[in-house]
A and B are shown apart, each in its own frame.
Chain A
Amino acid sequence: MSDSIGIRSSSANIQTFKVFAAVITIFLASIYLISSVLIPIVISLTLYALFEPATIYLVRHNVNHSLSILIVLVLLLFVTFIAIGFALPQLIEQAGLLQAKLPQILSKLEGFLTHYNQQISELVGTEFDASEIIITMLSESSSFAQSLLLSLSNKLLNIIIFLLLIPFLTYYMLKDFRSVRNRLMNWLPNSSFELGWLIYHRVSKQLLAYTRGVMIQSMIMATVCIIGFSIIGLDIPVLLGAMTGILNLIPYVGPIISIVLSLLVASAMTPFDPSLLYLSVVVIITAQVVDNVVVIPSVIANAVNLHPVEVILGIMIIGAAFGTVGVILAIPAIATAKIIYINLYTDIHNARLKSVAGL
C-alpha cells in the first residue's frame, strides 16, 4: 500500500515537474520578449504594489478612480523631485569626496594587507603579493568604471525614455492592471480556472507583502545608517547610508558589503581614528538589530517562507544568469516558483489519487 502511494507521489512529481517546466519556459519566453522594457515594467510594478493602497483609500472616500491615481502620481512625482533636489547635490558632493579618497582607501587597504601579509599567507597556506592584488583591483575597477560610463552615455536615450515611460506605465497599471489580468486569466480552460486563480492569489499576496516590506525595510535601514554615520562623524554619511539601504535588498551578502564599505571609508579618514572602525560597524549592527527586532517581525514576517539555503542557492544561480537585477529579484522569483510548484503538485497528486480510487 505504502509502495503504491510512493509510486503515485513520484509519478505526480514527474507530471508536476513537466507542467512546472512548461510554465517557467512560457514565463522566461515572455521575459525575453519584453526584455528591452523589463526594467521600467519592474519599476512600475513595484510602484503599483506600493501605491495601490493609496488609490484604494481615495476611491473609498468617493474620489473618482482616475483622479485618485492622478493625485497619487502627482504627489509621488512631487516628493521624488523634492528628494532628488535635496539629496542629489549631497550625493554628488559625497561621490566626489569618495573619488578623491579612493587612492587613500586603497593605500590603507594595501598597508593592511602588507602588514598582515605574513599571517594571512600562513593562514591561507600560500604566498601572495598584496600590491599585485591592489594593482589588479585598480585596473579592473578603472576599466569597469570606464565601461560603465560608456554604457551609461550610450544608453542615455534609453534612460530618458525609461524615466518618461515609468509614470505612464504606473498610471495605466494602477488604472487597468486588474482588468487586463482578468482578461488573461479568462484564457485558462475551465479545468484550470480555479487553480490558476488560487496560484495567482497566493503569488500576488506574497509578492505584494514582500515588495512593500522590502521597500520599507530599505528606507528604515538607510535612515538609521545616515543618522548613525552622521553622529559618529564618518565621512559621506548620506551616500554610505543610502548605499546600505540599497545593498540591504541583497540578503546576507548586502549587509557584509556595507560593513566593508563603511570600514574602508573610516580607515581612509584623516587623521586615522581606529575607534571609527568599531563605531561604523556598531552603526550597521544597530541598524540590523532594528531591522531584525522591529522591521522584519512587523513588516515582512511570513512575506516569504524560504529556507536560508534556498535563498543563497537561488541568489547564486539567478544572479549568475541575470546579474545584479537577478540578485535583487532572486527571492521573489524563488518564492513564486515554490508556490506554483506546490500548488501544481497538490492538484496533480489529488487528481491521480482520485483516478486510482475510481471516483
Chain B
Amino acid sequence: MSNIFWSNIFKKGNSELNTIAQLWQQTPLFTDIPARQIEFLSAKMHVRQFRAEEIIFNQGDQGAGAILVLEGSVRVMANKTELAQLESGDFFGEIALAETDRRVADAYALADSSLVFFLKQDLEEWIEYEPRFGARFLMNLSSVLAQRLSQANKIIASQQS
C-alpha cells in the first residue's frame, strides 16, 4: 500500500491514464492517431469530480475545451429541452476546441461523475510538438463538427415541417 504522505497525490495513476487514453481512442476525434500520441495527450488532460446535479457549464459560458465522461452520466440541454444523455466514453463541448466561444448548451451531472477536460491550450501545444498528427486531429474534429451541424439542420427541418 502506498503511503499518501510520500506518494505524488497529483500524479494520475497509470490505470486511470490508460482508461482515459482508451476511451478517447474509441472516439471519432482520435481516428488514425497512434495510441502513443493519445497517451501523451491524455497525460496532459485534467480530471475533475462533479457531484450529482452539479452544473458543468451553462449556455453562454466561455468554453475552454472538450469534455469526456470517464465515470457517471451527464445531461446536455438547450432551452430546457434535453439534447443528449451521455455515459462513460461519450464526449461533448468539442466546439470549444475549434473556437473558445460561448457554450451553446447547458450541461450538468446526472450522478456523481468524473469528467476529463481536454483543453484547447493543450491541443495547441500538442500541435506544436506534432503538427502531422495535429493536422489529422483537426480533420477529425472538423468531421465531427460537420456531423453535429448536419444533425442540427435535420432537427430544425423536422421541427419546421
Partners in one complex: yes
**Cα distance A60–B55 when bound, in Å?**
39
Q: Per DSSP, are chain B's interface residues mostly helix, strand or loop, or mixed?
A: mixed
Interface residues of A in 167-218 (CB under 8 A from B): 179, 182-183, 185-186, 190-191, 193-195, 197-198, 200-201
A235 and B134 CA atoms in complex are apart in Å by 54
The docked-state distance in angstroms from the alpha carbon of A190 to that of B61 is 13
Q: Is A347 interfacial (CB 8 A cutoff)?
A: yes
User: Is A193 a contact partner of B117 (Cβ separation < 8 A)?
Assistant: yes
Chain A nearest CB: distance from B104 CB in Å? 13
Binding-face segment, A147-155, A298-306, A349-357: A349-357
Q: With an 8 A cutoff between CB atoms, is A359 at the interface?
A: yes
Give the chain B neighbours of A59 by CB distance below 8 A: 129
Nearest to A182 among chain B residues (CB) is: B46
A10 adjacent to chain B (CB < 8 Å): no
Report the Cα distance A359→B103, complex, angstroms.
14
Question: Could you tell me the distance between the alpha carbons of A198 and B62 in the complex, rounded to whole angstroms?
Answer: 8
User: What's the interface size class on A, roughly?
Assistant: 20 to 34
On chain A, the residues within 8 Å of B56 by CB distance are 190
- A347 contact set on B, CB distance < 8 A: 61-62
Question: A201-B64, A346-B62, A347-B62 are known contacts. Are A194 and B129 too (CB-CB below 8 A)?
Answer: no
Residue of A at shortest CB range from B63?
A: A194
Q: Residue on B with the closest CB to A183?
A: B10
Q: Does B100 contact A (CB under 8 A)?
A: yes
Q: Determine how close the nearest CB of chain B comes to the CB of A89; give it in whole angstroms.
A: 41
Smallest distance from the beta carbon of B131 to chain A beta carbons, Å? 9
Q: Tell me, rounded to whole Å, the shortest Cβ–Cβ distance linking B91 to chain A.
A: 15
A264 at interface by CB-CB < 8 Å: no
Seen from chain B, the residues whose Cβ lies within 8 Å of a Cβ on chain A are 10, 46, 48, 50, 54-65, 79-80, 100, 102, 106, 117, 119-121, 128-130
In the complex, the 7 A-B pairs of residues with the closest C-beta atoms, listed nearest first: A194-B64, A201-B121, A197-B64, A350-B60, A198-B64, A183-B10, A198-B62
A-to-B contact residues, CB < 8 Å:
56, 59-60, 179, 182-183, 185-186, 190-191, 193-195, 197-198, 200-201, 343, 346-347, 350-351, 353-354, 359
